[in-house]
Each structure stands twice: as structure tokens, then as C-alpha cells.
């Protein structure tokens, strides 16, 4: 069952249970503990008084009162004192004991804050690893949705190589002002150009190169109807190298922009959506998936667990040869099957998608697949950090 990351305030999460990073007294404190008590109301404190505290690494359960969850599971994380005082084991135990309590109370979903990473000072990256591995192990034998709630955005610092890879490979038009969409009437320059376009063509008043650029602009303008697309070479950021590359390729992009728009639209639409394409596929996505699972020697459940996909969705895919997965689902299976880049691309194609350099999501996925790193939780952490959809469901 899935492990998901969400940004926000845990007191607003509608899970069956939320976990509180409490202190040993269980009588409230600062940080997430204070927020939970404030949102739950005084009845929570009254019930907590009856529990007589909690040991570090243990967990106790109460009602949710005015919170949108049924239960609050209070666990006490270790104070970080260098990492050699049993902190990793105690932190892991917080997750395991909380998950066990959630399961005993028939919870189907449970949300965790990043325990111990606030005033208790646990390094966020290490704490995130422990949280993920404890949850992953638990989910191998339990049907539950586990949410990690990050309050201030991602609670880990992210991979430097990935941000470098993104800088190098992500073609991000808006950042580098490769083209700017302007309202036709808003810009005097655009209006002037429009007027010029209306004049009969004077053959030699423009160089051949300029004419080509004008024609390309016209074509693109037509596509946008009420909008006009113009090209500028100044980069919005300070990256001179990218800026130069952008300006060198400007003309090429002018001609290609229209078809690029169409390709992007096609890439974001699964091919199976068109009934005519369905019959034309020799092997469907679903058939390919099942074949590759067999070839890998994995069981179905190993595969959907690794893909962070829930059993119900997998059964749907299994029983419908023409099932049309979303792009993140298709990629989740490619990752679960540990496919090398070419095969991952082939699988994606079967679902009607392609990797695009203008999609940050795709660039992040490619980074991991090229390195043959197939840990879906690590991939999701990075996708989450960049505000991208997560793999699995």
C-alpha cells in the first residue's frame, strides 16, 4: 500500500489517525504537539492526563476530538545527541509502534510529522531515511496508507547532483525567457508589429533571415489566436551559458515551436484514450506489464508494492488488457521493474507517453533511471521537493 508525502499542517489532515511528536509527559508542548492540542481542544489534554506519560520510542493512542481524524497517536522521539545514544533505534521504534497501534485500531490511513526533527534536533535527512525504511517494511505486510506530512516544504536537503542535472537537462522556457507570451493589445511593440504585418510585403526590405523569423512568429501567433509569441534572448536568471545556448537556438525553436506545442499536447494525452488506437496496439501496456513481471521473477504483489501502487488499482490494470494508466503510474511500474532507460521508455510508449525535456517531472525521473536507482521513495522525495506529482497511488 502507498506511502505518500504531503505538504501542510498535520492538524488539517483527514487520516484515520495522525501521529503527534509528543514529549514524555504527554501533557502538550511546542511545535507540532502544541498545534495538535490547540486544534483538538482541551478534551485531548484531559485524556492525555489519564495516560501517565510515555517512554521514548513508545506510542499511546487517544481520540481525535475536534481534529478531522479519529485518533491521535502520541509518540516520543529521541532528543538527538550525536547519534550514538540509541537515537536511530528509538526513532525507528516511534514509527513502528505508532504503525502497530494504528493497525490494532483498524486505521486505514495514518499521517506522520517528521518526528524529532524540530526542537529535538534529529538531522532531517537521516530521520527521513529511518521513517521511510520503517514504513516501507511495515507496508510489506499491512494494507494501510501512510502519509508523511512536511510542514515547511521538504524536510530534507535534496541531492546536489540532481539539481545540477536539472540545470543541464531541463528546457524551461519561462525561466530563461526563451519565449514570452504577450497579449497582442497590451504591448505597443506587438501592436506596431501587427500593423507592419498588415502592410503589403516589400520584398527586399527584410533580410532572408528576418523574414524567416517573422514567418515563424506569424505561424505561432496564429496558433494562439489572441496571443502573440515573441522571442527574447535575455535570460531571466544569471546563467550566461544557458542564455547563449538559448539565443543560438532561437531561430530553430521559432520554427519548431508550433509542432512542439502539438507534441506536448499529444504527449500529455494517453494514446489509449483514442478508441482507434486501442485495436492497433500489438501488445497493450497491461499485457507488457504482466509479461515483464513474469520475466523479472517478481510476484505481482512485490511489483505493486515496489511501484507504490495499491492492490485495487493493480487488479484493475491486471483485468483490463486495455487499461490506460496515468503517466506517473506507468513510470512507477517501469521503476518497480528496474527497467533500463530504453525499456522504460518503451513501456511508457505503450501507455501513450514519452519523456520530454520540457517537463521537470520527466527530467527528474530520467535522472534516476539513467543511474539505475529504483527506490521509489527516494524518487518521490525528490519529486515532492520540486512540487511534482508523485509515483504510485
**Closer residue to ligand ADP (CB): 46 or 119:** 119
Sort 25 into a burial class: Cβ within 10 Å, 0-12 / 13-18 / 19+. Answer: middle
Rounded CA-CA distance 192/195 in Å is 5
What pairs with residue 61 in β-bridges? Answer: 73
Strands of the chain (E only): list them: 3-7, 17-22, 59-63, 71-76, 109-112, 145-150, 179-183, 227-231
Q: For strand 71-76 and strand 145-150, is the pairing parallel, antiparallel, or unpaired?
A: unpaired
70 neighbors 63 (Cβ within 8 angstroms): yes
In the complex, the smallest distance separating the C-beta of residue 36 from ligand ADP, rounded to whole angstroms, is 7
Mapping DSSP onto H, E and C, the string for 318-329 reads: HHCCCCCCCHHH
Strand partners, 59: 75
CB of 118 to ligand ADP, least distance (A): 2
How far is residue 371's CA from residue 161's CA, in Å, rounded to a whole number?
Answer: 11
The distance of closest approach from Cβ of residue 350 to ligand ADP in the complex, given in angstroms and rounded to an integer, is 39
Nearer to ligand ADP, 125 or 140 (CB): 125
Query: What gap in Å lies between CA 132 and CA 126, rounded to an integer?
Result: 10
- Nearer to ligand ADP by C-beta: 152 or 238? 152
Q: Please identify, using beta-carbon distances, which residue of 26 and 339 lies nearer to ligand ADP.
A: 26
Interface residue list for ligand ADP (CB under 6 A)? 9-11, 21, 31-33, 35, 77, 113-120, 149, 151-152, 155
To ligand ADP, the closest distance from the beta carbon of 54 in angstroms equals 13
Q: Which is nearer to ligand ADP, 15 or 32 (CB)?
A: 32
Closest approach, Cβ 375 to ligand ADP, in A, equals 22
Q: How far is the CB of 26 from ligand ADP (least distance, A)?
A: 13
C-alpha cell at 374: 529504483
**98 or 329: CB nearest ligand ADP:** 98
Three cell numbers, residue 104: 490494532
Amino acid at each position: 500500500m502507498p506511502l505518500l508525502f504531503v505538504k501542510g499542517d498535520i492538524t488539517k489532515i483527514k487520516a484515520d489517525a495522525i501521529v503527534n511528536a509528543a514529549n514524555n509527559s504527554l501533557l502538550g508542548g511546542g511545535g507540532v504537539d502544541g498545534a495538535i492540542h490547540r486544534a483538538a481542544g482541551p478534551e485531548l489534554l484531559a485524556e492525555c492526563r489519564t495516560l501517565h506519560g510515555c517512554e521514548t520510542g513508545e506510542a499511546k493512542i487517544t481520540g481525535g476530538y475536534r481534529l478531522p481524524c479519529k485518533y491521535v497517536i502520541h509518540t516520543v522521539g529521541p532528543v538527538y545527541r550525536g547519534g550514538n545514544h540509541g537515537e536511530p533505534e528509538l526513532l525507528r521504534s516511534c514509527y513502528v509502534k505508532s504503525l502497530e497501534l494504528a493497525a490494532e485500531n483498524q486505521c486505514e490511513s495514518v499521517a506522520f510529522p517528521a518526528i524529532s526533527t524540530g526542537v529535538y534536533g534529529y538531522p532531517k535527512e537521516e530521520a527521513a531515511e529511518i521513517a521511510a525504511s520503517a514504513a516501507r517494511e511495515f507496508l510489506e505486510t499491512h494494507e494501510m496508507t501512510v502519509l508523511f506530512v512536511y510542514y515547511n516544504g521538504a524536510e530534507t536537503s535534496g541531492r546536489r547532483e540532481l539539481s545540477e542535472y536539472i540545470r543541464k537537462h531541463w528546457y524551461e522556457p519561462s525561466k530563461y525567457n526563451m519565449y514570452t507570451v504577450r497579449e497582442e493589445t497590451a504591448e505597443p511593440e506587438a501592436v506596431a508589429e501587427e500593423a507592419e504585418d498588415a502592410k503589403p510585403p516589400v520584398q527586399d526590405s527584410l533580410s532572408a533571415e528576418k523574414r524567416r523569423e517573422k514567418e515563424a512568429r506569424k505561424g505561432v501567433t496564429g496558433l494562439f489566436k489572441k496571443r502573440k509569441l515573441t522571442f527574447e534572448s535575455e535570460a531571466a536568471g544569471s546563467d550566461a551559458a544557458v542564455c547563449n545556448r538559448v539565443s543560438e537556438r532561437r531561430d530553430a525553436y521559432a520554427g519548431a515551436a508550433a509542432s512542439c506545442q502539438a507534441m506536448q499536447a499529444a504527449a500529455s494525452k494517453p494514446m489509449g484514450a483514442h478508441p482507434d488506437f486501442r485495436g492497433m496496439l500489438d501488445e497493450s501496456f497491461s499485457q507488457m506489464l504482466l509479461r515483464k513481471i513474469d520475466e523479472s521473477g517478481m510476484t505481482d504483489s512485490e511489483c505493486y508494492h515496489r511501484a507504490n501502487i495499491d492492490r485495487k488499482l493493480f487488479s484493475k490494470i491486471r483485468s483490463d488488457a486495455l487499461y490506460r494508466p496515468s503517466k506517473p503510474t506507468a513510470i512507477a511500474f517501469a521503476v518497480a521493474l528496474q527497467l533500463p532507460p530504453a525499456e522504460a521508455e518503451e513501456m511508457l510508449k505503450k501507455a501513450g507517453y514519452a519523456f520530454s525535456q520540457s517537463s521537470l517531472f520527466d527530467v527528474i525521473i530520467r535522472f534516476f533511471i539513467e543511474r539505475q536507482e529504483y527506490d521509489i521513495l527516494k524518487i518521490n522525495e525528490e519529486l515532492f521537493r520540486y512540487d511534482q506529482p508523485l509515483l504510485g497511488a
